[in-house]
Chain A
Amino acid sequence: MVTTKKNADAIGTNGYRLIGTRPIRPDGTDKVTGRAAYAADTQMEGLLFARLLRSPHGHAKIKSIDASQALALDGVEAVLTAADFPGIEMSGNDRNGRPADNQWLQDNILASDKVLYHGHAVAAVAAKDPHIAEDALTLINVDYEVLTPVTDVREAMLDDAPILHPGMRTNVQASDVETDTERETNIAMHMRLERGDIKSGFDSADVVIEREFETSWYHQGYIEPHSATAFWNRDGKLTIWNSSQGPFVVRDATAKLLDIPIADITLIPQEIGGGFGGKIPMYLEPISALLSRKTGKPVRITMTREAVFQATGPTSATYNRIKIGAMRDGTIVAADAYLAYAAGAYPGSPVGAGVQCAFGPYYIENQRIDGYDVVTNGPKSAAYRAPGAPASEFAVEATINELSESLGIDSVELRLKNAIKEGNPNAAGVPMPRIGAEEVMEAVKNHPHYTSELQGDDVGRGVGFGFWHNAGLESGSTATINSDGSVSLIVGSVDIGGTRASLAMQLAETMGLSYEDIKPRVADTDSVPFTHVTGGSRTTFAGGWVAYELGIELREKMRERAANIWEVDLDEVEYSDDATITSKPDNEGNEREFTFVGLASKMASTGGQISATVSLNKTSQGAAYGGHIVDVHVDRDTGKVEILRYTAVQDVGTAIHPSYVEGQIQGGVAQGAGMALTEEYFYDDEGLLKNASFLDYRMPTTLDLPMIETEIVEVPNPGHPFGVRGVGEVPIVPPMPTIQQAVYDAIGIRLYDMPMSPRVVLEELLNEG
C-alpha cells in the first residue's frame, strides 16, 4: 500500500492532494466551442442517410412488406427488413452467463413477424439524402393484421389478457409460491425475497398500514437522440461510430446478430449526449451495418425525437402494494411488498432491482417482497438511473411517512430507529459493509432546511430517503509515460459527465503528479481492454480502481528503471509522494535522485517507454443512501405544485470532483421531480402513444426548479482505494415520496399515483369541494 491511500473510516476527512478539488474537465473546451464530436456529427465521403419505418399500430401481425416502390425512387440505395438478418442460433448466454434471447434483441430493433408497440421499427431505407429517405418510407407498403393491445401492467396479468408472446410461461424464481407455470401468460417472471416470518410480525404490530401505488412510464429524456454510423468495408471489416453507454457491449451484441467475429468490428464511441441507462441497449448499429454492406457506403441513422419516445427506453410503469407493521415505539416489525413492473414488449423490466431496493434504507426482521416482470404493448423498458428503485422505494417511503403520522413520531426519527447498519443483511441476505444510512439521516435531521420554519398558505414540507446498491463490473485502461513526464491515460468508459476528469485525478493522486500531467482519452474497442457500460454509478468507482492500480504499477516500473540505472537493489529505491525517485548516495557521495520528468526523459535509452494495462472486475462498489427535503406551494386554482426549496443529502463515500458530484445529485433530483410532477406516457385504447414530443412529455425546465442545495456526506467505501461510492443514481430515488409528502402537508391530500400533474391535483381539490 502506498502512502497516498488514506481511507480512514471517518466522515468528512479528506487529506488528499487533488481529490476533492475542482479542476476543469479535459474535454471542456471542445464541449463549449461546439467542436466535440457527437454521434450524429459523423461525416464522411459517400455517407448515406437512413430512416426507419415504424409501426402505426400498438399490436399487430406483419403479413407482408412490399418495398419495391421505395427501391425504385431515385436516390434510394437500399431497403432493409428483418429478413435481411443472417439466420443465427437465437439463444445463448451473455457475457455474464445469463440467458440472452437474441431473437427478442433482434425483433426489438427490427420486427420480424409481429409489431408489439406503436413505433416498433419494421423497415429501414438508406438514401443519398435524408429527405429522400423520408419520402421513401411513405412508399413502403406493410400489410398488418391489427391485434388488441394491452398497455396496463395489471390488465396484462389477467387470465384473459391479449398474449404478446404465444407460448410464454412464467419463470418462477422462488420456492413455495402458487404461481401457475402451465398457463400461457404475459407474466415473464415472478421472484420473491423473504426472511423471518411476516405473519407473526404483523400479528405483533400495534399499527399496520397498507397502500397501493402506481407510477407512469418515464423516459430518460437525454437530449441527444440515438445515432449510429457504420461502414462495412470490402475486406469484411466493420467500423461503427455511435452514441452508447457501452461501446464494448454494443460491439459484442452487433457481432452476435450479424454472425461475425468480434475482431472484425471496431467501435469508435463518439461523445455521448446523455443516456441515464437508455443508451445501454442497442437499437441501430446492426441496421446501419447491414445497410452499409448492401450499399458499400457508410450509413448514418439518427433517430427522431418521436422515435426516441416511442421505441427506446422508458423505465417500467408499475403497480405496487406495500404493507408495513410497527410497534408503538416505532420499531418496524413486518413488511410486505407486491411489485408488478411493465417490461414493455420483451421481458426484462428492472423489477429485480425494485425488489432488492424496496426496503433498502432499513433493516426489518420479517419481510417478504414479490416482484413480477410483465410484458405489455410498449417499448421494451430500458435501464433508467437506479433502474427499478424509484418506483418501489416511493411506495415504501410514502407508506413510512404515513406510518410516522399514525405513530406520532417524527419521520426522520422513525427512520433512524429502523436504519440499516453495517452487518445487517440486505434483502438478499448479504451482510452490509460500512454504509452511511444513519449518517445521511442524521444530516437531514440537523439540516437548517429541516429545522427551519415553513411559512405561508398552501405550503408544505416533505422528506424521503433512497437507497441504491451501485455496480462494479469490468473496466480496463492503459497508461503510458511520455518522455516529457506527461501520462496518457486511455480508458474504455465513455465520458457522460466528467469522468475523464475524475479518472485523471485518481491517477494523478496515486502517482504524485499534477492533474494537468494526465491526458485522458476515451478509446475505441481495439485500443483498450473490455470495459463495461458507463452506468450503474460505476465509472468513477471502477475506473478509479483501475487508475489507482495503474498508478501503483507505473510507480513500481519507474523504481525498477531507476534501480537499473543506478545499479542498486530495487528495495533501495524510493518513489515519494511528490513523484521524485531517490536512493542513497553513491560511493562517491553523489545524491541519487530523479525528478519524474528527469527519469521519464531517460526512458528511451534505458529500456524503452514505460506503460501499464490493468483490467479489473471489482464487486466492492459500496451501497449509497440519500435523504431529501422539499418545500412546495400548491396553487389551488391550477393544481400546479411549485418547488420552493430543495435540499439533497447524500453519502458519496469520497467526492473526487465535488462539482460533478453535486451536478449528478442536482440532475437526479430534477429527473425525480419530473417523475413526481409532470412526466408521463399517454397511451390510448389502441396502444398509440399520444405525447411523443418534448412539448407534451413535460420534463422540468429552468422555470420548474429552484437552485438545488446539496450536502455531501463522506463515509468512505472500504472497498475502494479512495473510498469512492457511486453517486449518479441515488438522487433520483427520493424525490417522488419527498414531494408527495410535501403536497399532503400543503393541502391535506395524499396522492398515490405518480405523477401529481396539475390536472390530477386540481381534480382532487375540486372533489374535496
Chain B
Amino acid sequence: MARFVLKTNINGEEREFLADERDSLLDALRERAGLMGAKEGCNNGNCGACAVVLDGRLVNSCCVMAAEVDNSEITTIEGLAEPDSLHPLQETFLENAALQCGICTPGFLMSAKALLDSNPNPTEHEIRWWLAGNLCRCTGYDKIIRAVQDAAERINS
C-alpha cells in the first residue's frame, strides 16, 4: 500500500491530502477527501452516479485513477450550488420531482450541467442522448428530462 500526496482544486478550494496509489478518483473524493456527494453505483463506468467535472470534462470518477488528477480542477455536486441559492438544475429537479430515492441525482445533475454548459438549448433527443450514461431506476426518466428542459429555459431567459 503506497500513499501519495494528492494536490487538487476541488470546487474552487485548494486541497492536499493522502491518497492510495490504487484509489480511483471516486475513492479519493469519498474516502480520503470526505466528499460523499459523488455516489458509487457500479464502479465500472456504467451508471454515471459518480460523475464529476474534471478540468472542464465530464467524467465517471470511478474510471479515473486518483494519481492522474494531480494539479487538476474538479467540480463535484457539492460545488454546484451558489452559497445562497441553488443552481437552476437543482431547482427544477425539485420542482419536477425528478428524484425519488435520489441516489442517481448527483450524477444526473453533473451530467446535465455539462450538457447545458456546452449546449444551452438541447432538444429532448439531445438530452436523452447525453444522459444515456446515467442510470435511474426510480423515475422512468420522464421528470428528469422535463427538469433539464425547464432548467435550460430558466438559464436562457
Contacts and interface: CB of A to CB of B under 8 A. Distances in A.
Given A33-B77, A223-B41, A274-B137, A498 B1 contact: no
B137 A276 contact: yes
Interface in A697-742: 699-703, 705, 707-708
B155 interface: no
Nearest to A305: B42
B43 to A, nearest CB: 6
B41 A132 contact: no
Contact of A222 (B31, B131, B137): B137
Interface string B29-70: 011001111111111101101000000000000000000000
A660 B49 CA distance: 22
Nearest to B103: A273
Interface string A212-226: 000000001111110
A702 B139 CA distance: 10
A703 B126 CA distance: 10
B152 interface: no
Contact of A694 (B31, B47, B131): B47
Interface stretch (A139-147, A232-240, A610-618, A665-673): A665-673
A667 B36 contact: no
B22 A131 contact: yes
Interface string B102-113: 111110010000
A304 B101 CA distance: 19
Nearest to A672: B140
A31 B91 CA distance: 11
Interface stretch (A22-30, A593-601, A758-766): A22-30
Nearest to B34: A43
B95 interface: yes
Given A24-B94, A273-B103, A225 B40 contact: yes
B5 interface: no
Contacts of A659: 96-97, 143
Contacts of A304: 43
A224 B101 contact: yes
B132 A701 contact: yes
Contact of B137 (A25, A31, A223, A702): A223
Contacts of A131: 1, 20, 22-23
Contacts of B47: 223, 305, 694
A496 B99 CA distance: 10
A130 B132 contact: no
B111 to A, nearest CB: 10
B128 interface: yes
Tell me if B's interface is mostly helix, strand, loop or mixed.
Answer: loop
A82 B96 CA distance: 47
Interface residues of A, number: 63
A132 to B, nearest CB: 6
A430 interface: no
Nearest to B35: A34
Interface in B76-107: 76-78, 80-81, 86, 90, 93-97, 99-106
B86 A29 contact: yes
B127 interface: yes
A271 interface: yes
A28 B100 contact: no
Contacts of A694: 41-42, 44, 46-47, 135
B97 A22 contact: yes
B39 A663 contact: no
A318 to B, nearest CB: 22
A670 B140 contact: yes
A1 interface: no
Contact of A702 (B44, B93, B103, B131): B131
Contacts of A707: 124, 142, 145-146
B136 A34 contact: no
A742 to B, nearest CB: 18
A660 B100 contact: yes
B128 A703 contact: yes
Contacts of B37: 33-35
Contact of B136 (A35, A223, A271, A669): A223
A274 B103 contact: yes
A314 B132 CA distance: 24
A223 B135 contact: yes
A302 B80 CA distance: 27
A705 B142 CA distance: 9
A700 B43 CA distance: 19
Nearest to A41: B36
B78 A702 contact: no
A693 B137 contact: no
A755 to B, nearest CB: 16
B49 A223 contact: yes
B42 A663 contact: no
Nearest to B44: A693
A498 B100 contact: yes
A70 interface: no
B86 A703 contact: no
Contacts of B44: 305, 693-695
Nearest to B91: A32
A193 B40 CA distance: 45
Contacts of B97: 22, 25, 498, 657, 659-660, 662-663
A75 B103 contact: no
Contact of B103 (A25, A224, A305, A699): A224
A666 B132 contact: no
A302 B40 contact: yes
Nearest to B90: A32
Nearest to B30: A41
A695 B46 contact: yes
Interface in A257-313: 271-276, 302, 304-305
A24 B96 CA distance: 9
Nearest to A302: B40
A705 B143 CA distance: 12
Nearest to B92: A32
B127 A702 contact: yes
A37 interface: yes
Contact of B41 (A225, A657, A695): A225
A335 B23 CA distance: 59
A137 interface: no
Contacts of A667: 100, 137-140
B90 A671 contact: no
B92 to A, nearest CB: 10
A725 B99 CA distance: 22
Contact of B129 (A132, A496, A703): A703
Contact of B101 (A43, A132, A272): A272
B140 A34 contact: no
B36 A34 contact: yes
A36 B139 contact: no
A40 interface: yes
Contacts of A669: 140
Interface in A294-345: 302, 304-305
A595 B99 CA distance: 36
A38 interface: yes
B139 A693 contact: no
B40 A666 contact: no
A113 B105 CA distance: 42
A505 B1 CA distance: 52
20 contacts: A22-B97, A24-B94, A24-B95, A28-B94, A29-B90, A33-B78, A33-B86, A34-B76, A36-B102, A41-B30, A130-B27, A223-B103, A224-B41, A274-B100, A305-B43, A496-B101, A498-B97, A663-B139, A707-B124, A708-B142
Given A29-B86, A273-B104, 18 more contacts: A34-B78, A34-B106, A41-B30, A130-B31, A223-B41, A223-B103, A224-B41, A271-B102, A274-B101, A496-B101, A498-B100, A663-B97, A663-B142, A666-B142, A666-B143, A670-B139, A702-B129, A703-B132
The 4 A-B pairs of least Cβ separation, nearest first, read A34-B37, A273-B103, A497-B100, A666-B140
Interface of A: 22, 24-25, 27-29, 31-38, 40-41, 43, 75, 129-132, 220-225, 271-276, 302, 304-305, 496-498, 657, 659-660, 662-664, 666-671, 693-695, 699-703, 705, 707-708
